Each structure stands twice: as structure tokens, then as C-alpha cells.
A and B are shown apart, each in its own frame.
Chain A
């Protein structure tokens, strides 16, 4: 294979797991306090330099909350100088006018702000802290400074019926893009799955609204809608294939194909403090074990869709079956599909079980 065709395009830099929000669907790991030995500015610059050499063009500065890093402006400055398209993924609580202007000045390209719902009451309830008004103010500021603005909304049973009002708010804020993404069940979201998974009826309604609004807002706002894979016949093409286009660096320098991959025990954790990014990308089991299609068992091995969905998600396979090499149980052809089907049927049964309380993200997982 031509080396240039096997190079990553995007780096997700999780600068810190500190965050002022407590969203119960957070994709960060449950053991947040294990990541407090954060990379320094110099170490991040080394990561960025190696990433550029490796071919990365898009840099996603995320967390946790990236604005919790006191050196965030220097980080963006250095990243811009290296030639990345820089993308700040933020709760926006700490995005003051002064900070936003500084970030613009050092070359930040794009801002993504999370919204939890269409109104303060629901949004603050989900975020676990008063935050809605600050987010709306920050979104206006971002547009006034000329940044492209994306709004990110994670959908679940408590807010999915608000898609209409959420899109109306996005339109009023003149967002360029909005990502309406149904919850993916990793990290805190898996922990809260029974409280978050929407019903089939909620999803059908949501799709009708999305379809109509897409048509109405064509040419003005791009609407991305991510279906919940639990309701799909086939799995999502997770990451567009394992270790194919993207890599993630965690706050303490662990290098992963995606944020959730650290939980797979058969893959030794790689760290940027010990090896170069190129070595890790090219040679480590963490990156090579599930790259391509040779690792696949049946029913994926002879499936005509194996280059469409790449067997789905390795982390989900591990979480649900204990075997990271298994077909994603979301697939109706998986021998473990009942694991997903049972959860979906329970939520949709005529007498559904009581919805459990949400467990909010915090640095110490409450014992249950």
C-alpha cells in the first residue's frame, strides 16, 4: 500500500478531562482521575509536530473542556503555525469575549459549542449546572467574530422531542452546521443507558422533523443527524475503520485509535512520552490489531458489507460481549444480537421498567 494513502487526517487532542459540565452521556472514561498527569505545552507541541509529519490536517481540540487549559491560546497559536485546520470543541462556559478574540487572533479556524437542549431548564438539568445562557451568549460572540459555528447536540430520551425548537434556536444563532447525534453508549453513557435510550416512537418523530427542517434550511445550515446504532440493522462504520483516518491523544499522552479503545485489555496502552506517534501508528498492536479486514471472524469475514461498516465498533463489541474481535452486536447477523435487542425491546415494551435516575459525570463514580 502507498504510504500516503494510509496516513491519518484527523487528530483528536483531549487536552484535559477537567470540565465544568456533568453530562451523564459523557464519552470520557469513568476513571477520570487516572488522567490528571496532563501533557505540558511543550509535549503537546511535540505531538502536533509529529502529527503533521504523519499527515494530519485537522486538529480537534477537545476534552473535557479544552478552555480549562490555561495555555489554550498558546496551544492554538502553535497548532496554527504548524498548518492545522484548528477546531475547538467546547462547552463555551469559559469562552469570554477576551478569550474568543485572543483565539481568533492566533488563528483558530472553527468553533463547536455543545448544547444540551433548546431551553435553559432542560439544558441545565442535563448539564448538571447552569450553563445554557452562557452558551447562547458565546455562540453569538463566535459568529460576531466571523468563525464558522457548529452546534453539537447529543440526543437521548430527555431531549429528542426538542429537535424542532433546537433547530429554531440554531437558526436564530446563525449556526453554519449542527450535529444532532444520538447518544453512543460508551463511558458514562453506557452507565446511564437505561435512562438515555429513546423509544422507537420518539425516533420516528425525530426523523420526520429532521427531514422537513433539512429541506427548509438547505443552503443555509448543514444538519447532520446521527442515528442511534441500537436501532439499526447494520452497525455504524465506526471511525471509518479502525486506525484508518483518525487518532486520539488523551490528556496524559495515551495514543488511541478512538477515545473508547483504552478499555480493550488485549491492546497494550501506548504513550507519546515513550514512543513516537509514527511508530505507534505504524507498528503498535493498539493500531494494527483491527486495521483493515484480515482480523475479521464470521459473519463479517464473508459479508459483502465488510468494507462498508468494517464490522462495526470494536469497543462496543468488547463492552457487550467481552470479545473485541466479535462482530458488533448491533448487527442483526451477530450471534450476540440479542444483547442489543433485549435492551431495545425493554424500552419499547407495553410496560417499560421505571427509568432510572441519571448518574452525573464526576471525578468519583458514585458507588451504587
Chain B
């Protein structure tokens, strides 16, 4: 794998890296991302974002869906969260 970009763009189509896995943790009652030597617990908003990261939708689509759902601007929340995952190399991105 080559180097990943450092900043998420609105046209990117993110999905969870093949090195990581998203699953429900019944003990802590939350979604978690499992990765090499790490566990990332997701709150409800983060879980909603991840559910839309399917490698098809663009970041702008994800923002549109969630803005509608939460009835507020979620641009910054989405970008901040996705950039955090990007820095941990937890996302695969296509942006053509």
C-alpha cells in the first residue's frame, strides 16, 4: 500500500480499510472499529457516518444524508471524524 492522503476531500469515496473491521460490541453496547493493536469505540454519530462509508457515496453525499437526518449542518463533524480515521490509516479512498 502506498501513502495515503492527509486530508479528506468532499469528492472522496471512503470506506473502511480492509485491515480493520466494524462490529457491534454487545458487552459495551456500541459499535467498535477493530484494527491492528487497537479498538476505536464509536458514538452514535460516528457509527452513522461509518454506516454510510461504502466506497460508493462521496463525502458530500454522506454529509447530505446526515444533515437531512439530524436537521442541522454536520459538515465539520463528518470531516473531522473522517480525517481522524484517515490519519490512523483506517480508510481506503477512491476519488475519481
Mark interface residues in A90-132 (1 if CB within 8 Å of B CB, else 0). 0000000000000000000110000000000000000000000
Main secondary structure of the interface of B (DSSP, over half): loop
A-B contact pairs, 11 of them (CB 8 A): A57-B25, A57-B32, A85-B34, A87-B37, A148-B36, A150-B36, A174-B1, A176-B1, A177-B37, A220-B1, A220-B3
Which residues of the other chain, A, contact B4 by a CB distance below 8 angstroms? Answer: 219-220
Contact digits for A147-159, partner B, Cβ 8 Å, 1 yes 0 no? 0101000000000
> At the interface, yes or no: A199 with Cβ under 8 Å from chain B?
no
Q: Measured between alpha carbons, how far is A54 from B37 in the docked complex, in Å?
A: 19
Binds A, one of B15-23, B61-69, B73-81: B15-23
Q: Report the tally of A-B residue pairs with Cβ distances under 8 A.
A: 57
Binding site for A on B (CB under 8 A): 1-6, 18-19, 21, 23, 25, 27-29, 32, 34-39, 89
Q: Is A285 an interface residue (CB 8 A)?
A: no
A176→B23 contact, CB < 8 A: no
Q: Is the CB of A219 within 8 A of B89?
A: yes
Closest chain B residue, CB of each to CB of A86: B34
Q: Are B27 and A54 in contact (CB under 8 A)?
A: yes
How far is A140 from B19 in the complex, measured between Cα atoms in Å?
Answer: 16
- CB of B28 within 8 A of CB of A220, answer no
Shortest Cβ distance from residue A191 to the other chain B in the assembled complex, whole angstroms = 28
Asked if A222 is at the interface of the complex by the 8 Å CB criterion, the answer is: yes
Given A57-B32, A57-B34, A109-B34, 17 more pairs with CB closer than 8 A = A4-B27, A7-B27, A7-B28, A55-B25, A55-B28, A58-B34, A58-B39, A83-B23, A87-B36, A109-B19, A148-B35, A150-B37, A174-B1, A176-B19, A219-B3, A219-B89, A220-B2
A9 within 8 Å of B (CB atoms): yes
Check if A352 is an interface residue, CB within 8 A of chain B: no
Contact of B89 among A7, A109, A174, A222 (CB under 8 A): A222
- Chain B residues whose C-beta falls within 8 Å of the C-beta of A57 in the assembled complex: 25, 32, 34, 39
| Range, interface on chain A | 20 to 34
With the chains together, A320 CA to B35 CA distance in Å? 36
A110 near B36: Cβ-Cβ < 8 Å: yes
Q: In the complex, what residue of chain A is closest to B17 when comparing beta carbons?
A: A148
Question: CB of A146 within 8 A of chain B?
Answer: yes
Contact B21 A109 (CB under 8 A): yes
Chain A residue contacts of B21, Cβ below 8 A: 85, 109
Known: A58-B39, A109-B21, A219-B6. A176 touches B89 (CB 8 A): yes
Q: A109 vs B34: C-alpha distance in the bound complex, in angstroms? A: 10
B28 nearest in chain A by CB position = A4
- Complex: chain A residue closest to B29, CB-CB: A4
Chain A residues within an 8 Å CB radius of B3: 218-220
For B2, what are the chain A residues with a Cβ–Cβ distance below 8 Å? Answer: 220
B60 to chain A, nearest CB (A): 23
With A and B bound together, what is the CA distance between A218 and B65 in angstroms?
Answer: 32
Q: Which residues of A contact B23 (CB under 8 A)?
A: 83
| A7 contact set on B, CB distance < 8 A | 27-28
B residues less than 8 Å from A177 (CB atoms): 36-37
Provide the bound-state CA to CA distance between A177 and B35, in Å.
12
> What 1/0 mask marks residues of chain A from 226 to 267 whose CB sits below 8 Å from any chain B CB?
000000000000000000000000000000000000000000
Most B CB contacts (10 A, CB to CB) among A83, A146, A148, A177 go to: A148
With A148-B19, A219-B89, A222-B89 already in contact, the answer to whether A176 and B36 are too (CB < 8 A) is yes
A55-B27 in contact (CB<8A): yes
Name B18's contact: one of A53, A146, A174 (CB within 8 Å). A146
**Docked CA distance A7–B27 (Å):** 8
- Point out the residues of chain B lying under 8 angstroms from A222, CB to CB: 89
Q: How far is the CA of A365 from the CA of B19 in the complex (A)?
A: 40
Other-chain residue from B19, B25, B29 in contact with A110 (beta carbon distance below 8 A): B19
